[in-house]
Amino acid sequence: MTAPDELANPYPPEVARRYREAGYWTGQSFPDLLAGAVAAHGERPAVVGTGPWGPQRWTYAELDRRARVLAGGFAERGVAAGDRVVVWLPNVPEYLEVVWGLFLLGALPVFALPAHRESEVRYFAEHADAVAVVTVARHDRHDHAATALRVADDVAPVRDVVVVARDEDVPAGGVGLTRLREAAPREPAAPDPSRVAFLQLSGGTTGLPKLIPRTHDDYLYSVRASAEICGLTPGSVFLAVLPAAHNFTMSSPGLLGVTHAGGCSVLAPSPDADTCFGLIAAEGVTIAAVVPPLAAAWVAAREAQRSRAESTAAERADRDLSSLATLQVGGAKCGSELAARIGPALGARLQQVFGMAEGLVNYTRADDPDDVVLHTQGRPISPDDELRVVDPDDPDEREVPRGEVGALLTRGPYTIRGYFRAAEHNATAFTADGFYRTGDLVALTGRGDVVVSGRVKEQINRGGEKVAAEEVENHLMAHPGVLDAALVGVPDAFLGERTHAWVVARPGVETPAPAALRRFVRDRGVAAFKVPDRVQVVDAFPVTGVGKTSRRALRAALAAHLAEESTVEEEPPR
């Protein structure tokens, strides 16, 4: 289905050679990573979590045994090395069994978020020519399995929907995980480490999300280096709070970094403070990764607990967070005020993380001065990460003086050179010499730390969940009563930004109500975080005198207008 060279190493050969010579690309594959952990730490705990079969606690040897069986199970279902399989799972331990099963088989996971819905899952399956979708029965009041089965009906290459559920909960047409677990274990494949290992997802800026091809070599370099920067050891216990498939949770240093170090991954079934504080206390969690709104919620919960004097000894033990050495905050900007409250409230050292699924990840370091940790988003992983901060209005993209704000371009040993099957988009997303245009506005400090100050890309960062303005506008414009739509971000005290849709009604038809338009977008089967927080129907876009009404200028004008308005009128987030 895929031309063989489509998944080949996308870096120019001389660049690949340089990254190998520098020791970044070592030829390690995903199966090698697991084999290394099993050899060195086989009897140590690898995974803790709760799924359809109740609480699970697996050593590396047990995880490996399970993954080999699933590799055999997928093979029996006709999945072959190089095939793509959409993995659409919440934070259950079986997530790791499935993902490692696919890696050991040499198949390529295509990661979807649990919050995604039919429109996104269908797109991933189609765009990647996936042969199977793996999901759960129900999650978050949504029937994931039923949705996946509809996708399988319509998208020709999808032969199987594998349902991670007890047999009695597997709907007709689905294949229960127990079926795959009956297979004979399979010897791990030996994939070419220079080739693409999986497709990661991006928040996207255009009408359709993009798939990100990451090779074994480039990704595992970032994982090993991240584990080292974050000081992971076999004693590290990582709490996966955000979705396991999110690039932050997976690799910064995340689930894979912990595997490299021989530590333990604890999967949180829900990100709320009660659940997570309980897990931190019970499992001795040493490091957790969250987005700013979650960090704020945890801080507030802790401050509230402290002020309640009547807590019993048992309650106090249940909330003992003393093991938590590091709280990583990233995905969206962690403001200085929140940053300053984290240490005192949670007793953990803050680490800011500014990363992207396309590659580049920046960390503040454990030995950085407080000033750097509180006020910057850190510095890159690699000495060979190239960061150019350029004038966004300059067609020649000349660099701005150090310290000034500009658009960030980056290139390096773990940053992609192009999205998967997106030639047209790649032409604008990358420079001719291979820099990725991140769309972020940043300044570099004298020491080379990055301070994120905004963005040029048409994307709204809703508490770390990325919303592509154009994608939502397209959904709105599919409504017969809508002539035009523009989605903008509005400042929000909790989320950083929330979404506001301006809609121009189509003349001559009944003007749709805002609530009906929100429902319309939701019913089109998109992730809930993409449903506009507020919809406002107007006769025409309130912009004149902008010169040309490019959509970008329009959005900027609307955003400015709304920012003014929102200082007067505050709406609680959904």
The helix/strand count (H/E) of the chain reads as: 19, 25
- Considering only residues 439 to 468 of the shown chain, the ones binding ligand AMP according to CB under 6 A are 440, 452, 455, 461, 466
Q: Does 248 bind ligand DBH (CB under 6 A)?
A: yes
d(CA 277, CA 290): 13
Tokens representing 345 are 């409230």
In this structure, the number of other CB atoms found within 10 A of the CB of residue 512 comes to 20
Q: Does 33 bind ligand AMP (CB under 6 A)?
A: no
Nearest to 209 by CA among 362, 357, 107: 357
* Interacting partner of 144 out of ligand DBH, ligand AMP, none (Cβ under 5 to 8 A depending on kind): none
- By beta-carbon proximity to ligand AMP, the closer residue of 302 and 466 is 466
Stretch that binds ligand DBH, among 335-343, 349-357, 494-502, 516-524 (CB under 6 A): 349-357
* Interacting partner of 333 out of ligand AMP, ligand DBH, none (Cβ under 5 to 8 A depending on kind): ligand AMP
d(CA 179, CA 167): 9
Q: Does 252 bind ligand DBH (CB under 6 A)?
A: yes
The residue type at 438: T
In this structure, the number of other CB atoms found within 10 A of the CB of residue 494 comes to 12
d(CA 71, CA 257): 22
DSSP 8-state secondary structure symbol assigned to residue 6: G
Q: Which of 356, 441, 460, 488 binds ligand AMP (CB under 6 A)?
A: 356
Stretch that binds ligand AMP, among 190-198, 294-302, 346-354, 527-535 (CB under 6 A): 346-354
- By beta-carbon proximity to ligand AMP, the closer residue of 117 and 466 is 466
Give me the residue whose beta carbon is nearest to ligand AMP: 203
Give the shortest CB-200-to-ligand AMP separation in angstroms.
8
Give the shortest CB-29-to-ligand DBH separation in angstroms.
20
Q: How many CA atoms lie within 13 A of 472 on its CB side?
A: 33
Residue appearing with tokens 């274990």: 185
- Report helix angle 254-261 to 216-229, nearest 10: 70
Q: Does 357 bind ligand DBH (CB under 6 A)?
A: yes
d(CA 330, CA 364): 11
Q: Does 356 bind ligand DBH (CB under 6 A)?
A: yes
- By beta-carbon proximity to ligand AMP, the closer residue of 220 and 416 is 416
* Interacting partner of 438 out of ligand DBH, ligand AMP, none (Cβ under 5 to 8 A depending on kind): ligand AMP
Q: Does 286 bind ligand DBH (CB under 6 A)?
A: no
- Considering only residues 188 to 217 of the shown chain, the ones binding ligand AMP according to CB under 6 A are 202-203
Give me the residue whose beta carbon is nearest to ligand DBH: 355
Tokens representing 274 are 């009660």
Q: Does 330 bind ligand AMP (CB under 6 A)?
A: yes
Q: Does 114 bind ligand DBH (CB under 6 A)?
A: no
Tokens representing 357 are 């699924």
The residue type at 27: G
Give the shortest CB-521-to-ligand DBH separation in angstroms.
23
Q: Which of 176, 204, 292, 331 binds ligand DBH (CB under 6 A)?
A: 331
Q: Does 486 bind ligand DBH (CB under 6 A)?
A: no
Helix/strand/coil for 365: coil
- Distance from the Cα of residue 435 to its chain's centroid: 21
Q: Does 362 bind ligand DBH (CB under 6 A)?
A: no
* Interacting partner of 455 out of ligand DBH, ligand AMP, none (Cβ under 5 to 8 A depending on kind): ligand AMP
Give the shortest CB-342-to-ligand AMP separation in angstroms.
14
Q: Does 459 bind ligand DBH (CB under 6 A)?
A: no
Q: What is the DSSP string of 137-204?
A: S-BTTB-HHHHHHHHHHHSTT--EEEEES-GGGPPTT-EEHHHHTTSPP-PPP---TTSEEEEEE---
Q: Does 241 bind ligand DBH (CB under 6 A)?
A: no
Give the shortest CB-118-to-ligand AMP separation in angstroms.
20
Q: Does 332 bind ligand AMP (CB under 6 A)?
A: yes
- By beta-carbon proximity to ligand DBH, the closer residue of 106 and 463 is 463
Q: Which of 333, 379, 437, 479 binds ligand AMP (CB under 6 A)?
A: 333
Stretch that binds ligand AMP, among 49-57, 73-81, 325-333, 475-483 (CB under 6 A): 325-333
180-to-55, 70, 76, 97, 351 alpha-carbon distances in Å: 20, 6, 8, 11, 40
**CA dihedral (214, 217, 222, 223) positive or negative:** positive
Exposure string of 520-545, with b = 16+ CB inside 10 Å and e = fewer, is: bbbebbbbebbbbbbbebeeebebee
Stretch that binds ligand DBH, among 173-181, 233-241, 353-361, 547-555 (CB under 6 A): 353-361
Q: Does 357 bind ligand AMP (CB under 6 A)?
A: yes
* Interacting partner of 45 out of ligand DBH, ligand AMP, none (Cβ under 5 to 8 A depending on kind): none
Q: Does 408 bind ligand DBH (CB under 6 A)?
A: no
Give the shortest CB-242-to-ligand DBH separation in angstroms.
9
To 5 degrees, how large is the angle CA 45–CA 51–CA 53?
A: 95
The residue type at 246: H
417-to-413, 423, 460 alpha-carbon distances in Å: 10, 11, 24
d(CA 444, CA 448): 5
Give the shortest CB-466-to-ligand DBH separation in angstroms.
7
- By beta-carbon proximity to ligand AMP, the closer residue of 281 and 287 is 287
Q: Does 229 bind ligand DBH (CB under 6 A)?
A: no
Tokens representing 484 are 């035009």
Which residues would be at the binding site for ligand AMP (CB under 6 A)?
202-203, 247, 330-333, 352-358, 377, 438, 440, 452, 455, 461, 466
Which residues would be at the binding site for ligand DBH (CB under 6 A)?
247-248, 251-252, 330-331, 353, 355-357, 361
